[in-house]
Every structure is written in C-alpha cells, then in structure tokens.
Amino acid sequence: MATRHFLTLLDFTTEELLQLTARAIELKAILRSGEIYEPMKNRVLGMVFEKSSTRTRVSFEAGMAQFGGHAIFLSPRDTQLGRGEPVEDTARVLSSMVDIIMIRTFEHEKIERFAEFSRVPVINALTDMYHPCQLLADMQTYVEHRGSISGKTVTWVGDGNNMCHSYINAARQYGFKLNIACPEGYDPDSAILAAAGDSAEIIRDPAEAAEGSDIITTDVWASMGQEEEQAKREKAFASYQVDDRVMSAANSDALFMHCLPAHRGEEVAASVIDGPQSVAWDQAENRLHAQKALLELLAKG
C-alpha cells in the first residue's frame, strides 16, 4: 500500500477530515482528563525546520511526548539539506530511521519531492503555498464553538498567501463559502482559486466581504522572509485591517481567528483580537490536538 502523506487538505477526503476533527476533540478531552494515552510509544517523529516557528515545534514535540513517542528537532544546521544535499537523498535516509516526518520549509515543490522518496508519512507543517495543519486547528475551533461549518461563510482579509490558499482548499473540503478581501496585486494563486469554483471569490472591500460571515480571519501583512517588503506592504494593506467596523459587518455571533503571531494595529485591531469574539488562543492550543489526531491517523497507515 502506498505511503500516505499530508501535504495539503486535498490529500484527505471530506469524511476523513471530519473524522479527524472529531478525534482531535476526543484527544483533547482525554488529555484534560489526565488519562495516559500512548499509541506512539517507541515511535519517532523527525521534525525538519527550514523556517522557525514557536507553535509548530512545541505542538508537534509536546504531542509526541504525550503519545509516548519522541520527536527529533532538526534545524538547517542539523541536516545536510542546509549544505546542499539533494532532497531525495535526505528523504531516503531520514525515512529509514524515523516513523513520521514533518517539514516546515519554503518551496512546496521541495516537500513534494521529499514525500516522493520517503518511505514514511510526510506532514506539511508549512510551505510558501499551503499551511494545512493550521486549518485542521481552525476547523476544530469552529466546531467546538459553533458546530458544523458546512454551509457557513468565512471571510479572509489580507494577503492571498499560504493561509489563504489553505482556506480556499478548506472551502472545497468542508463545504463553506470563502470571501477573500485582498488588495490588488496580492491575489491568491489563480489556479488554486479557479479549482474552488463557486466556493471562493475575491471581494476587494473587507467590510463588504464580511457581510453575513461566520468567521473573520487574517494573517500578518508581511510573512517570514518578506521583511524587506514591510514598508511596501504596510501601504498596500493599510485599509485591510480587521477592526470593529469589519467585525460589525459580520454576523453578530461571528468568530475572529488569527494563525499568530499577530501584529496589533496592523492586520488586526487590539480591540478585536483581545475582544470577546476572538478565538485565537483556542486556535493556537488546537494545533496540539489536531496534529495529534493527524499523527495517530498517519501512523495507522
């Protein structure tokens, strides 16, 4: 049987994604009850970080420890990838020694090549094109607060980046409508958007896009690696802040989400992310539970 990987949300069926969310909620309850549950005892997760991240490292490492397994952190200094070894060679070697591999890197094509030559499951912990693990946590968070997201409306405010691409895929898989409020010149990938059909559309004005929405979500204006564009992006995104005006255009019980880190006063007003509609901290915690459910599913083969 071919090795299964999780490189985008499209690698799983809708039914599998919904089951994964339900399992994540169960695992959260098991952890909070104090019950010891160690389905991955003596198993090892290799964590390849070409891009640093607080939440990604802590959530995967803590998840493996809670499952009775072990996680090995590998920075660019700790692998031959950083010294120019072919991706295919690193994939062959690492996957001969560990049970699952997660990679946080730049080019999506690199993780696809790695997965092609890996004998164990590979998890996309972020590429420049997709961030599917964050979407698992976001969908779990919505279900916990409001129930099924099928038939709902989500508004993405900001850059048409990897998070936006993953929300487009999520709209297809979970059955919600996605409004994308982004400035011209920062649209999502046209092929990814086109593949979503009527599930996703661009509405330039954030307040107009937010009308009737159940989730308002955003990301920083300049992601890691785009620091030199900060001034240019501050100008382009100046009218794309999620503030009280945007939130008031959404449904009265709409939730605010942010994948973090957040820059108050830029992409989000402090009154919103620190306000009663924000579930950003639940999202952050749910990275742990959603990824544990993902590890468990992939470990079963």
Annotated binding site for L-ornithine: 162, 219, 223-224
Residues 39, 160: Cα–Cα separation, whole Å: 38
Environment class of 97 (CB within 10 Å of its CB; exposed 0-12, middle 13-18, buried 19+)? exposed
Annotated binding site for carbamoyl phosphate: 53-56, 80, 104, 131-134, 259-260, 287
Question: How would you label 178-203 residue by residue, b for 16+ Cβ within 10 Å and e otherwise?
Answer: bbbbbbeebebeeebbeebeebbebe
Closest CA to 208 of 239, 233, 185: 239
Binding site feature residues: 53-56, 80, 104, 131-134, 162, 219, 223-224, 259-260, 287
Of residues 70, 86, 145, the one with CA closest to residue 295:
70
Pick the closest to residue 160 from 107, 202, 125, 105 (CA basis). 202
As annotated, the active-site residues are: 104, 131, 134, 219, 259, 287
Tokens representing residue 169 in the block: 């895929």
The answer to whether the CB of 139 falls within 8 A of the CB of 17 is yes
Please tell me the distance from the alpha carbon of residue 170 to that of residue 48, in angstroms, as a whole number: 25
